[in-house]
């Protein structure tokens, strides 16, 4: 099982399954949304994802019409995103995981934007 939370702790979740694959994304939207070099996320099944605490703090932001970015409106931590046309899958933001096994990334999206100083051995 996976557990995680936002920075302030208002939002706390459990994922009642294993994380199978993780993806680094270097696109501009992820960078801005995370305030970092990249996004690190995993597509997981919504049916196994449970917001245990703080559902009322979650806010959805649509930067593109089809994709909701869901974050804690108290502290701003991104928690997950999902696409309206793929409602059964959410993309969990793995920096929020506090318990459980998170596999090394197996995929890089928009790798052409990866900074030169960042060497990642585990995936192409």
Residues that bind Zn ion (CB under 5 A): 6, 8, 10, 25, 27, 30, 72, 74-75
Please state the closest distance from residue 32 (CB atom) to Zn ion, in A.
10
Please state the closest distance from residue 119 (CB atom) to Zn ion, in A.
20
Please state the closest distance from residue 41 (CB atom) to Zn ion, in A.
8
Closer of 18 and 64 to Zn ion (Cβ): 64
DSSP H or E run through 31: helix 28-34
Whole-angstrom distance, CA of residue 24 vs CA of residue 43:
12
Closer of 2 and 72 to Zn ion (Cβ): 72
Please state the closest distance from residue 43 (CB atom) to Zn ion, in A.
13
Closer of 16 and 56 to Zn ion (Cβ): 56
Whole-angstrom distance, CA of residue 64 vs CA of residue 8:
27
Closer of 18 and 111 to Zn ion (Cβ): 111
Query: Is the C-alpha dihedral spanning 8, 51, 89, 104 positive or negative?
Result: positive
DSSP H or E run through 79: strand 78-83
Query: By CB neighbour count within 10 A (0-12 exposed, 13-18 middle, 19+ buried), where does 115 fall?
Result: exposed
């Amino acid at each position: 099982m996976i557990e995680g939370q936002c920075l302030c702790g208002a939002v706390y979740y459990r994922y009642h399954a294993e994380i199978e694959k993780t993806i680094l994304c270097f696109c501009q939207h992820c960078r801005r949304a995370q305030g970092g070099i990249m996004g690190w996320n995993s597509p997981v099944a919504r049916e196994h994802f449970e917001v245990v605490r703080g559902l009322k703090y979650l806010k959805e932001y649509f930067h593109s019409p089809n994709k909701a970015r869901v974050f804690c409106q108290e502290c701003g931590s991104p928690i997950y995103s999902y696409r309206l046309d793929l409602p059964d899958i959410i993309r969990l933001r793995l920096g929020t995981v506090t318990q459980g096994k998170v596999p090394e990334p197996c995929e890089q999206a928009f790798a052409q934007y990866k900074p030169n100083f960042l060497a990642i051995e585990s995936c192409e």
